[in-house]
């Protein structure tokens, strides 16, 4: 028995030695580099522009349409901004081409009015305004109007909001009547709301009976006369 045990012990020692060598040969985990970039999580709503700020960008665009020239209009767009215009088949993809479009469009003396508006703020530097607007124009010497769907994609570049993409297309179906301006629609909706109840007005109640008051005499039927 003693002679058979010695080879078994030798094999056990050899196995332990091989396991130790294999463990030491493993590649150690690399230490974390403190200078490596880390993802930054931005809290929802942090530094987001208000929707009224985005809505005001159309007012600036519309005012420039009234008082400015083609070059002024083109500067409202990013250098690589894209315009799919209302009264032209050609897509404009830079400021030179955009200015060329407004060179012709401004000859119609357009004045824009928002009829329907939907604003989505995507992040602190990106927002979308889409809806319906109406242009009053002079066409062939006569005043008329055109109703179109629109979408503006804005991006803040160098601290200034610029138009990255502007899509404007006339309604595909005939418009039976001129749509009301957005301000008029909002005013009508507000007027249609029921007036809020006055929670401070005291509720009407019947005065409590005086426990010490003298009770009124009970009414009685007069006695019948005897003959």
Q: Is residue 222 part of a domain?
A: no
Read off the pTM.
0.66
Q: How is residue 135 written in tokens?
A: 């242009």
Q: Residue 198 falls within a domain, yes or no?
A: no
Q: What is the largest CA-CA distance in the chain?
A: 153
Average pLDDT over residues 198-205: 52
Name the 3-class secondary structure at 155. strand
- Residue 119 domain boundaries: 51-191
What are the φ and ψ backbone dihedral angles of 48, each rounded to 5 degrees?
-80, 140
Q: Is the predicted pLDDT of residue 38 greater than 90, yes or no?
A: no
- In this prediction, residue 43 carries a pLDDT of 52
Over residues 161-175, the pLDDT tens digits come to 999 999 999 999 999
pLDDT band at 1 (very low <50, low <70, confident <90, very high): very low
Neighbours of 153 (CB within 10 A): 20
Residue 80 falls within a domain, yes or no?
A: yes
**How far is CA 34 from its chain centroid?**
38
56 part of a folded domain: yes
Domain count, the chain: 1
Q: Above 50 in pLDDT, residue 191?
A: yes
Four-residue CA torsion sign, 120, 126, 129, 130: negative
- pLDDT confidence of residue 182: 93
pLDDT given for residue 189 in this prediction: 76
pLDDT for the residue 13: 47
The pLDDT assigned to 48 comes to: 96
CA distance 108 to 135: 10
Alpha-carbon distance 207 to 204, whole Å? 9
Q: Is residue 46 part of a domain?
A: no
Q: Which of 144, 54, 158, 66 is nearest to 106 (CA)?
A: 66
Per-residue pLDDT of 141-157, as tens digits, reads 999 999 999 999 999 99
Tell me phi and psi for residue 163, to 5 degrees. Answer: -85, 115
**CATH number (domain holding residue 146):** 3.10.450.50
Domain assignment present for residue 126? The answer is: yes
Continuous segment of H or E residues that includes residue 163: strand 160-170
Is there a domain that residue 183 lies in? yes
| DSSP 8-state assignment for residue 80 | E
Band (34; pLDDT cuts 50, 70, 90):
low
Give the model's pLDDT for residue 200: 53
CA–CA separation, 114 and 181 (whole Å): 6
Taking only the tens place, the pLDDT of each residue in 104-149 is 999 999 999 999 999 999 999 999 999 999 999 999 999 999 999 9
Query: Residues 159, 163, 165, 171: is their CA dihedral positive or negative?
Result: positive
């Amino acid at each position: 028995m003693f002679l058979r045990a010695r080879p078994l012990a030798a094999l056990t020692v050899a196995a332990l030695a091989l396991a130790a060598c294999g463990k030491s040969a493993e590649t150690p985990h690399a230490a974390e580099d403190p200078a490596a970039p880390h993802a930054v999580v931005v809290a929802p709503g942090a530094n987001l522009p208000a929707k009224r700020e985005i809505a005001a960008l159309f007012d600036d665009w519309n005012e420039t349409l009234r008082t400015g020239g083609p070059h002024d209009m083109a500067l409202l767009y990013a250098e690589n901004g894209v315009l799919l215009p209302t009264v032209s088949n050609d897509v404009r993809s830079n400021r030179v081409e955009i200015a060329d479009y407004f060179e012709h469009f401004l000859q119609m003396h357009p004045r824009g009015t928002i009829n329907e508006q939907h604003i989505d703020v995507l992040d602190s530097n990106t927002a979308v305004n889409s809806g319906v607007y109406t242009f009053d124009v002079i066409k062939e010497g006569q005043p008329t109007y055109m109703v179109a769907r629109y979408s503006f994609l804005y991006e803040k570049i160098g601290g200034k909001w610029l138009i990255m993409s502007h899509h404007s297309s006339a309604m595909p179906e005939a418009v039976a009547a001129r749509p009301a301006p957005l301000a008029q629609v909002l005013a009508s909706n507000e007027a249609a709301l029921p007036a809020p109840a006055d929670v401070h007005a005291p509720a009407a109640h019947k005065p409590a009976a005086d426990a010490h008051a003298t009770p009124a005499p009970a009414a009685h039927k007069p006695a019948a006369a005897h003959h």
